[in-house]
């Protein structure tokens, strides 16, 4: 598994997958739907799937004397490495905004989603949706990537729309607050995001393994 992961990181990965991690810095943009940055991180991972397909990496790896389920696991470890790095940046930048920039005019007059724990919860939900719907969609054929990514894109922007709408509803303003008094409710949303991400990722992982094992490459 260590060698397979090394192959994913060094050989199979598209450079764009690493470059698109920088879209996590969209967390700092005021007056902008910052959740869109999560979509672009996933778009970077998409480029690795595309590059691996064009270079016949999936077929090459499956021909090695290894279990087919390990091929899927290595790709999931790669995905989690990219998402984990981007999420780490999201956390650092969110804390920066909450602790040191909460009184900045650009953020106090921001009508869009603020960077807080609710935002981080939504970030994890989008990653979970990608890890389940796109990746399992790919491993149904181990070739087609267009329709699975389109479906993920639609779902992700629905989530972005929900995130940008809820805090405007009367009684839900706390979802966009950065004050410590609102932290309890926001942490509840964050925990939901953590749980959904973990469940969707594990479900996608297991389903992708089963699908890939049944494919006649």
pLDDT at 217 over 80: no
Q: What is the mean pLDDT of residues 35-39?
A: 98
Confidence of residue 156 (pLDDT cuts 50, 70, 90): very high
Distance between CA 156 and CA 147 in Å, rounded?
Answer: 14
Exposure string over 151-169, b if 16+ CB within 10 A, otherwise e = ebbebbeebbeebbebbee
Query: pLDDT tens digit string along 56-106?
Result: 888 788 788 889 899 999 999 999 999 999 999 999 999 999 999 988 888
Residue 69: count other Cβ atoms within 10 Å of its Cβ: 15
Query: pLDDT tens digit string along 173-206?
Result: 999 988 877 889 999 999 999 999 999 999 999 9
Q: How far is CA 53 from CA 50, 99, 135, 171, in A?
A: 5, 44, 13, 48
Distance between CA 4 and CA 155 in Å, rounded?
Answer: 31
pLDDT on residue 200: 98
Q: Average pLDDT, whole number, for the chain?
A: 94
Distance between CA 79 and CA 182 in Å, rounded?
Answer: 32
pLDDT on residue 103: 85
Query: pLDDT tens digit string along 94-123?
Result: 999 999 998 888 888 889 999 999 999 999
Six-digit token string for 25: 């810095």
Q: What is the mean pLDDT of residues 17-31?
A: 97
pLDDT on residue 82: 98
Please state the pTM of the whole predicted model.
Answer: 0.96
Six-digit token string for 99: 């602790």
Q: What is the mean pLDDT of residues 11-36?
A: 96
For the residues of 50-88, what is the DSSP string, one character each? HHHHHTTHHHHHHTSSS-HHHHHHHHHHHHHHHHHHHHH
pLDDT at 216 over 80: no
């Amino acid at each position: 598994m260590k060698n397979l992961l090394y192959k994913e990181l060094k050989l199979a990965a598209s450079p764009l997958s690493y470059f698109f991690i920088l879209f996590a810095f969209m967390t700092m943009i005021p007056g902008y739907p910052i959740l869109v940055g999560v979509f672009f991180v996933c778009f970077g991972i998409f480029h690795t799937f595309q590059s691996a397909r064009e270079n016949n990496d999936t077929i090459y790896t499956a021909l090695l004397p290894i279990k087919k389920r390990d091929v899927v696991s290595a790709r999931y470890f790669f995905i989690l490495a990219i998402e984990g790095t981007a999420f780490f940046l999201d956390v650092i930048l969110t804390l920066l905004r909450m602790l040191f920039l909460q009184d900045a005019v650009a953020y106090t007059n921001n009508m869009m989603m603020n960077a807080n724990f609710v935002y981080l919860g939504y970030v994890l939900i989008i990653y979970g949706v990608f890890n389940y719907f796109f990746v399992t969609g790919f491993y149904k054929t181990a070739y087609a990537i267009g329709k699975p990514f389109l479906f993920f894109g639609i779902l992700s922007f629905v989530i972005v729309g929900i995130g940008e709408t809820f805090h405007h509803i009367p009684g839900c303003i706390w979802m966009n607050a950065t004050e410590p008094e609102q932290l309890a409710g926001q942490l509840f949303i964050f925990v939901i995001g953590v749980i959904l991400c973990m469940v969707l990722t594990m479900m996608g992982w297991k389903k992708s393994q089963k699908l890939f094992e049944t494919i006649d490459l």
